[in-house]
Amino acid sequence: MNADTNLGLQARQKIRAGQAPGPTAGLARGNVQANLVILPAEHAADFHRFCQGNPKPCPVLAISQPGSPALPTLGQDIDLRTDLPRYRVWVDGKLVDEPTEISALWRDDLVAFAIGCSFSFEEALIEDGLELRHQTEQCNVSMYRTSIPAASAGPFQGPLVVSMRPFNGADAIRAVQITSRFPAVHGAPVHLGDPSRIGIADISKPDYGDAVSIRDGEMPVFWACGVPPQAALQAAKLPLVITHAPGCMLVTDLRNSTLSTF
Amino acid sequence: MNADTNLGLQARQKIRAGQAPGPTAGLARGNVQANLVILPAEHAADFHRFCQGNPKPCPVLAISQPGSPALPTLGQDIDLRTDLPRYRVWVDGKLVDEPTEISALWRDDLVAFAIGCSFSFEEALIEDGLELRHQTEQCNVSMYRTSIPAASAGPFQGPLVVSMRPFNGADAIRAVQITSRFPAVHGAPVHLGDPSRIGIADISKPDYGDAVSIRDGEMPVFWACGVPPQAALQAAKLPLVITHAPGCMLVTDLRNSTLSTF
């Protein structure tokens, strides 16, 4: 792919030049966007094991060489220090800064994880003609803590957190089919129907994001979401963790369709 | 495949010799079993068009040459006149006989349709560890007329009829995934959740088969089933139609797994 036609590279160059302050939704439309987690190498093996044990909430798309801010399998000339519009810096589990670049914080022992996010499968659902209620109602997707524990690894643990999208029966079936093709971005739902079965007491009160309306004849459909790795990192109180800021993702060169397994 | 290892052929030879009076469930385990519809050539084009317009209830696996009792793509040496344990003979839409072979009724203008049935996907569900309630409760699967019309063709018309299997949320998701792979045997469900959405007034009163219990936390999951072609044939009151008798199917040489599209 040359630079003239590489939408991902163009988006990152714009971000790097300070011309795209985020959120990244809508940039390089059709390209995979990823959550970013950067942490010291001494904790990277545990975190990787946490992801491996929880592939639905934590689908790893790529891991950097220690000290390298590049992710060559995800895009040309990626510089993780400058190519996201905004970052979050966590010290001992506390949010201490939200800078627009992290060059001054970079160290030789930092390891970066790019983790799949639901943008990719949401694009496939929309392409298929399904309605995403949180888009119709112009708010954030509803997210809930569940009673299902994530597999723990070293200091990393916590409950599974799910995002919820309401559908009628036929659309729920179609949504299962479509998202099953995308294991690298949370994949198939983990539950549908009665929220109490996974420990959700009140569907109208999400733990994260916004409540959306569930219409007559619809049921809630639940997918693993990317909150658990974030929450586990916070709870582990590491001396330094850097993540993307909400909505300010890593824009890659990969097309969403390339993540489809069939 | 030679005759020594061809389980389908062995089963058909046993049936032909009168040593297997049916039902065929359990014969040549793992092989595709098919519904059979035989009708005069003058109605075959309309019936084929009815099947084509309703691929979920009427997935055609093979059609014979007019006058030929063989279906070479489904099995070695198939003789449709003798290879099912029991048949039903319909004259002007009325059941007039249930013979164990139909050699005397055979005519040069008869055309046979082998139509996929849910045995194949049920095997895949069981292999995956899912419970089929009608098997646990040792009864027939529950079936319901819906408010969804089948596409009509010539004299053939009628409502979509669905079979119902109850599952909890996670198992319903898995069942969608598994049966989606098998479009030749009804494929993915057509609905899940609220039965009234597809015109079913009382889930405890199936129109065909037996009622099964739906446990706390479970929802009904509905698949298109093979009743519509049978019902449409009956309603069309053709001068002659021959079908398999319930549970006495055509045992083929194909393995169920070969119907999986991925």
Q: What's A130's domain CATH number?
A: 3.30.2040.10
Instruction: Judge if ipTM > 0.90.
Output: no
Q: Tell whether the model's pLDDT for residue A3 goes beyond 70.
A: no
Residues A153 and A65 in one domain: no
DSSP conformation class of A68: -
- Residues from chain A that touch B169, judged by Cβ atoms under 8 A, are 191-194, 197-198, 222
Query: Which pLDDT value is given to residue B230?
Result: 83
Do B150 and B163 sit in the same domain of this protein? yes
Residue A148, CB half-sphere, CA atoms under 13 Å: how many? 21
Within-domain flag for A241: yes
Q: How many domains does chain A have?
A: 2
- So what's the pLDDT on residue B231? 86
- A59 has pLDDT over 80: yes
In the 8-state DSSP scheme, what is residue B195?
G
Share the mean pLDDT of chain A. 94
pLDDT of the residue at B2: 65
**Same-domain status, B60 and B24:** yes
Number of H helices, E strands in chain A: 6, 11
Q: Tell me what percent of the residues of chain B surpass a pLDDT of 70.
A: 99
Q: What average pLDDT does the structure give for chain B?
A: 94
pLDDT score for B1: 60
pLDDT tier at B229 (50, 70, 90 boundaries)? confident
Q: Which residue on chain A is closest to B177 by alpha carbon?
A: A177
A176 contacts B173? CB cut-off 8 A: yes
Q: What is the pLDDT of residues A16-50, one digit of tens each?
A: 999 999 899 889 999 999 999 999 999 999 999 99
pTM: 0.87
B148 min Cα distance to partner chain A (Å): 13
Contacts of A173 in chain B (CB under 8 A): 176, 188-192
A126 shares a domain with A48: no
CA dist., res. A66 & res. A39, Å (int): 10
The confidence band for B226, taking pLDDT boundaries of 50, 70 and 90, is: confident
Chain B residues with CB within 8 Å of chain A CB: 168-170, 172-173, 176-177, 180, 188-194, 197-198, 217, 219, 222, 262
Domain match, A216 and A246 both:
no
Average pLDDT over residues B113-124: 92
Q: Domain check: are A35 and A87 in the same one?
A: yes
pLDDT at A1 exceeding the cut of 80: no
Same domain, B86 and B153: no
How far is residue A61's CA from residue A249's CA, in Å, rounded to a whole number?
13
The pLDDT of B83-93, averaged and rounded, is: 96
Q: What residues pair up with A239 in beta bridges, in sequence order?
A: none
Residue B127 within any structural domain of the chain: yes
Q: What CATH number does the domain containing A23 carry?
A: 3.40.1640.10
- For residue B228, the model assigns a pLDDT of 76
Is residue A68 located within the same domain as residue A124? no
Closest CA to B47 of B250, B248, B244, B230: B230
Residue A2 confidence (pLDDT): 65
Q: How confident is the model at residue B155 (pLDDT cuts 50, 70, 90)?
A: very high
Give A199 or B260, the one with higher predicted confidence: A199
Yes or no, beta carbons of B173 and A193 under 8 Å apart: no
A125 lies in the same domain as A98: no
Question: Do residues A34 and A109 both lie within one domain?
Answer: yes
Q: Give mean pLDDT, residues B175-204.
A: 96
Let me know if residue A167 belongs to a domain. yes
Residue B213 included in any domain: yes
A36 with A23, same domain: the answer is: yes
- Are both A147 and A219 inside the same structural domain? yes
**Does residue B110 fall inside a structural domain?**
yes
Domain that holds residue B184: 119-229
To test the contact with chain B by mutation, choose from A180, A190, A192 the residue with the greatest count of B C-beta atoms within 10 A, namely: A192
Output the CA–CA distances (angstroms, integers) from residue A251 to A11, A127, A176, in the order listed.
Answer: 7, 20, 26
